[in-house]
Amino acid sequence: MFIAFYVCYARNELVKFSLNYSILKVIISLKICRIRSYELNHELREPSRISYQSTISAKNVLVLIETDEKIYGIGEAAPFKPSTGDVQKTALKFLKLANDKLKGENPCNIENIQFLLREISKKIDFNSQTAKTAIDSACYDILGKVKNKPVYKLLSSKKPITIPNTITVYIRSIEETVKKIRYIMNKYRRNGICRVKLKLSGNPKLDKKRVLESAKIFPGEFTLDANEAYKNADLAIEVFNDIFEVLGSRVILIEQPSPRDDLKKLEYITERCKIPIFSDETVATLEDLEKIIERKLVKGINIKLQRAGGIFWAKQMAELAKASDLDIMVGCVFESGIAISQDVNFLAGISGWACGSDIDTDYEIKKNLVSEESRISFRNGGRIPLDRPGLGLELKKWVKDLIIKNRS
């Protein structure tokens, strides 16, 4: 009997061992075979005008990481020079170098991958945060697929809560702003839209009027984004406090009122403005955040993965911000459904830490790349990640065909 039990025990252990071993084998021995990059030239539905730039297209890059176990990962680089510091050409060049450097490396060891990407940056005379972000996305996608978990579940075991998400109204006349607000209310009513973001121009009269007229129509909350437009700090304080007098706490926050490098001005406005000031352009990376924290310049920060270098760095930014009592919002640049999935998984992965998100550019891009089933939904006022392994994305047929065509 003892022998029978022993044999049975040994066999079970052997089965367990071989099962664990096979999972372990995949994790340990998964190797990057190739990093493929494709130009993604998105057209926007309409011009997006912010204080320093008007945009009608987004020249992005689609990234696919292939592994020896035939598990692939997907990512998107979304360069927007004023925000991310790079352009499509730089991202493509960086990705080519990354392909050489990362071949044979384990994509599931994201810390090592990020270390190697930093090594590339140190060696060359340019950097591409968006290329790093796309590689980070593909690696998390692979890791999620290996572990059979959505990416947000790799970041936290907590159930995510729905965070209010804004749809953005770019700079336009008062009449056009009102028209756009009506359009948004109608289009996103079923999504439970509860918050709208207005881009500000730096023209105090126009900005005040656009916000107040919008608030007469839209019953929900607002966020405002000046994109550095107010060079005169006292004027900014006057405009913002006037808006506060009428709308009170319906205006949740104001992003980046003054020039990014003028930290004194940012601090001055934060101290005197009744609406919480968030930094956006001032805080691109973890290093920038460390500077902000030292001087306690703002009430909160806007974390954008494309500037941070991906989830790996953004998670550290969120942890540092949380530990320093800074509020967090998660934003994006001009990204399609691929990068948006990475953003939303990150947002869900930091769960209740964020007070808001501005993840909406997939609605601004004319041609959608991912299938309807794998599109990130907008429900009850917030963006919700997919409950599928990795980023859970399925590319549309025309994108797959394009990849095959460019491969041969």
Binding interface with Mg ion (CB under 5 A):
225, 255, 280
Q: Quickly count: other Cβ atoms within 10 Å of residue 121's Cβ.
A: 17
Q: How far is the CB of 200 from Mg ion (least distance, A)?
A: 10
d(CA 31, CA 280): 36
Q: Please identify which residue in the block is written with the tokens 């020039």.
A: 259
Q: What angle do CA 229, 174, 167 make, to 5 degrees?
A: 70
Strands (E) in 68-220, as ranges, are 72-77, 166-169, 195-199
d(CA 130, CA 94): 10
- Report the residue number, 155 or 233, with the smaller CB distance to Mg ion: 233
Q: How far is the CB of 255 from Mg ion (least distance, A)?
A: 4
Q: How far is the CB of 256 from Mg ion (least distance, A)?
A: 6
d(CA 170, CA 184): 12
- Report the residue number, 82 or 192, with the smaller CB distance to Mg ion: 82
- Report the residue number, 226 or 395, with the smaller CB distance to Mg ion: 226
CA 148 to chain centre: 22
Q: How far is the CB of 278 from Mg ion (least distance, A)?
A: 8
Do the bridges between strand 327-331 and strand 251-255 make them parallel or antiparallel, or are there none, so unpaired? unpaired
- Report the residue number, 253 or 369, with the smaller CB distance to Mg ion: 253
Q: How far is the CB of 83 from Mg ion (least distance, A)?
A: 8
Angle (deg, nearest 10), helices 337-349 and 311-323: 40
Q: How far is the CB of 302 from Mg ion (least distance, A)?
A: 6
- Report the residue number, 227 or 374, with the smaller CB distance to Mg ion: 227
- Report the residue number, 135 or 301, with the smaller CB distance to Mg ion: 301
Determine contact, residues 249/279, Cβ cutoff 8 Å.
Answer: no
- Report the residue number, 66 or 335, with the smaller CB distance to Mg ion: 335
User: Measured at CB, which residue is nearest to Mg ion?
Assistant: 280
DSSP class per residue in 333-390? SS--HHHHHHHHHHHHHTGGGEEEEE--GGGTBSS--B-GGGSPEEETTEEE--SSSB
Determine contact, residues 99/117, Cβ cutoff 8 Å.
Answer: no
d(CA 45, CA 145): 33
Q: How far is the CB of 341 from Mg ion (least distance, A)?
A: 21
Residue 380 CA neighbour count, 13 Å, CB half = 4
Q: How far is the CB of 331 from Mg ion (least distance, A)?
A: 6
Q: How far is the CB of 108 from Mg ion (least distance, A)?
A: 33
Residue 123's nearest CA partner among 144, 93, 149, 151 is 93
- Report the residue number, 229 or 243, with the smaller CB distance to Mg ion: 229
**Three-class SS of residue 156?**
coil
- Report the residue number, 277 or 369, with the smaller CB distance to Mg ion: 277
